[in-house]
Structure 1
């Protein structure tokens, strides 16, 4: 376990995470990964606490991962489904959150299709003067902090399983490819990877990586390590890791691509295209995957290159670490 003193009450964004916070999460997740390898996979850390998973939009990996993580820490869990809730009768999001507060919830894990909803709920909890922590499990096109952290953990444990730490990525070239405009995962990964000292290369068609987005990113701290390309080859050349992103078709309000076939030809990751990268390159994808669109099916299933299943496994340990920190209030 990390010896860092944890002071963050809510986890809403990686934009202001410090190096010590990143390393605390990585080291604590490594400890919990060891716990998960045991026959008895539970620890009593959050016994007696209630974790409510308030998912206002569909999810498989994130929701299940948070539920397993909470149960492995011995917390009680409540799962919210918007389709069968009182929201269908007109109840507001804040009233829903207050209902779970009244039931004795200690931690709220929030996912919503609109950016900012977890922040609003966190502000309301603070206004009410209660000690409820809020964890952002993905809000619109804003951020997905736990995904960014589990991606970071997956990469760092590959490099040094015994002592994962953010400094391991100093100078590494990491390509993020695809629908960057609509991706909350890309935003969280950009914050964490730039903080690690990696060089981050974004690649996508102009409609999914518009100029204004690149200029906005260019104003961030350490922007000299962030590069944008409207062609795939410069981003892949000598890359150590490639993160490919799902086309967020449900968030596209206009016809932004000629066809999925053409997108795959230009930006889909295949074995042949990986020849531009380092020989030991690894590929990541946050899921769910559109097979044959963002990545070829055979490459996705090849353990020599693909870290996709490792990402899913890492997610439980990382989310255990996050719940541990905001649930116990100390490292």
Structure 2
């Protein structure tokens, strides 16, 4: 018999999760990582719909792999194939999915606040936020914390530098809430043109070289060019020299400090290309851990429906 987790349904963002709920998810992620014999027979007959209205590789494929490892049936909708393009409201889309037997909807879209609104309306389908506008990306934050905890053994007391395009990053916000809940110290850094005053209400901002000297982990953020309404830097080389993680900057980090990045990586922009595969880089380990964490999140969603 597969041990169960107490489900609570929707996953909107990390600020709606308690420390205990996140710890429970990490425990289940570790379970799925180490108990391959229970894959494919855990949740047969359950349906997940992946609704991705923005481009995605890692998150979309990671969820699909997680769903199939759990034995779920997987459906795909995007901005071109969904009836949203015909004028259907997202509420009616969710009600339709629920009516035809879909249990969980994994959603990525450009807006902010829509999933919380739908969760309040109880459309009948359990919602998982796979990246919502500039708002939040809770599954990325949870896999980041899972990676940190597996490496360091604990999150309490760690200093994590989140650096780069803070203004347009949903990853940064979700990580800030989650890391703070575990007693980690967050330092923000990045170009002045990409600072976010709302985040600086909760964590200090420091110049990059000063910040990374104190870091246990440096989490570089992708420069989100698709969200920029104006030109915020002159060239890739200029950005890397001024604000990116280079070999020279790695040398001033504490010897034990690790490199993280939510990906996709703009090599030669926010991080020197050779550092992506550096022995201190956890970037590809983060991707692997994303499958186990998303299996735990899907399990939580399904059991939340049952409860």
TM range (shorter): over 0.9
Please give the secondary structure, in 2, of the residue aligned with 1:141: coil
Q: Residue 19 of structure 1 corresponds to which residue in structure 2?
A: 19
**Which of 190, 197, 206 is the matching residue for 2:192?**
206
Structure 2 residues not aligned, in runs of 5+? none
Query: Would the alpha carbon gap of residues 246 and 148 (structure 1) be closer, same or farther in structure 2, given more than 3 Å must change?
Result: same
- The 1:284–1:111 alpha-carbon spacing in structure 2 relative to 1, beyond 3 Å, is same
Q: Which residue of 2 aligns with 1:308?
A: 283
- TM-score (structure 1 length as normaliser): 0.87
CA displacement at 1:7 relative to structure 2: 5.3
Task: Supply the distance in 2 between the matched residues of 1:41 and 1:59 (Cα, whole angstroms).
Answer: 28
* Residue of 137, 140, 146 corresponding to 2:139: 146
Q: Secondary structure at the match of 1:233?
A: helix
Shift of 1:74: 1.0
3-state SS of the aligned residue for 2:192? coil
Distance 2:22 2:90 in 1: 31
Mapped contact 1:181–1:213 kept (Cα < 8 A): no
Match of 1:136 in 2: 129
Aligned pairs, number = 306
Q: Distance in 2 between matches of 1:30 and 1:155?
A: 13
Please give the alpha-carbon distance, in whole angstroms, between the structure 2 residues aligned to 1:285 and 1:89. 37
Asked if the contact 2:40–2:68 (Cα under 8 Å) also holds between the matched residues in 1, the reply is: no
Give unpaired runs (5+ residues) of structure 1: 161-167
Deviations for 1:175-204, whole angstroms, at most 9, x for unmatched residues? 111001100000011011111111111001
Once the 2 structures are TM-superposed, how far is the Cα of residue 99 of structure 1 from its aligned partner? Answer: 2.4
Matching residue of 2:261: 285
Contact in 2 for aligned 1:28/1:321 (Cα 8 Å): yes
Q: Which of 159, 178, 182 is matched with 2:168 structurally?
A: 182
Confirm whether residue 74 of structure 1 aligns to residue 71 of structure 2: yes
- What secondary structure does 2:31 align onto? helix
Distance 1:122 1:310 in 2: 32
Q: Which 4+ runs in 1 deviate beyond 4 A?
A: 1-5
TM-score (norm. length: structure 2): 0.93
* Equivalent of 1:228 in 205, 228, 247: 205
Q: Aligned-pair distance for 1:123?
A: 2.8
Structure 1 counterpart SS, 2:271: coil
